[in-house]
Amino acid sequence: MSKWVTVWGNATSVADHRPETYSRDITLRYPVRCAFGGNAIRLHFSNFCGTEPVTLRRVTVAPALSDREINLKDAALVTFSGAESVTIGVGEEIFSDEIPFRVKPRGDISVSIYLKDFTLMRSAVVITGPLSKGFYSLGDCTLTGVLPIERTRTTNTFYFLTGIDLLTDDSCRSVICYGDSITSQSWPDYLALKCLDDPYNRTAIIRRAASGTRILREYTCLTYESYGLSGEHRFRREISTVSGADTVIIQQGINDIIHPVGTEVNPFRPMSDLPTLNELEQGIEYYISIAKSYNLKVYLGTLLPIYGWRTYAPFREEMKQAFNDWIRRNTDADDCIDFDAALRSETNSYAFKEGYDSGDHLHPSDGAYRKMAECAYGKIR
Q: Is the pLDDT of residue 55 over 80?
A: yes
Determine contact, residues 135/147, Cβ cutoff 8 Å: yes
Looking at residue 19, its pLDDT comes to 83
pLDDT band at 269 (very low <50, low <70, confident <90, very high): very high
Q: Name the pairing type of β-strands 134-138 and 26-33.
A: antiparallel
Positive or negative, the Cα torsion across 352, 353, 356, 359? positive
- Could you read off the pLDDT of 285-307 as tens digits, one per residue? 999 999 999 999 999 999 999 99
Looking at residue 216, its pLDDT comes to 98
* Among the listed residues 282, 276, 184, the one whose alpha carbon sits nearest the alpha carbon of residue 226: 184
Amino acid at site 2:
S
Amino acid at site 259:
H
- Could you read off the pLDDT of 2-48 as tens digits, one per residue? 999 999 999 999 999 888 899 999 999 999 999 999 999 999 999 99
- Could you read off the pLDDT of 89-130 as tens digits, one per residue? 999 999 999 999 999 999 999 999 999 999 999 999 999 999
Looking at residue 125, its pLDDT comes to 96
Residues paired with 251 in a beta bridge: 179
Determine contact, residues 25/141, Cβ cutoff 8 Å: no
* Among the listed residues 258, 274, 279, 248, the one whose alpha carbon sits nearest the alpha carbon of residue 179: 248
Q: Is the pLDDT of residue 211 over 80?
A: yes
Instruction: Read off the pTM.
Output: 0.96
- Could you read off the pLDDT of 326-370 as tens digits, one per residue? 999 999 999 999 999 999 999 999 999 999 999 999 999 999 999
Q: Which residues contact 132 (CB under 8 A, 6 or more apart)?
A: 156, 158, 186, 189
Cα-only R_g, the chain = 21
Q: Would you call 20 exposed, middle or buried from its count of C-beta atoms within 10 A (0-12, 13-18, 19+)?
A: exposed
Determine contact, residues 134/158, Cβ cutoff 8 Å: yes
Q: Is the pLDDT of residue 320 over 80?
A: yes
- How far is Cα of residue 348 from the mean position of the Cα atoms in its chain? 31
Domain boundaries, the chain: 10-166, 172-380
Dist CA 353 CA 364 (whole Å): 10
Mean pLDDT score across all residues of the chain? 97
The rounded percent of the chain whose pLDDT value lies above 90 is 98
Amino acid at site 3:
K
Q: Is the pLDDT of residue 381 over 90?
A: no
How far is the CA of 194 from the CAs of 5, 202, 312, in angstroms?
19, 12, 34
Domain 172-380, CATH: 3.40.50.1110
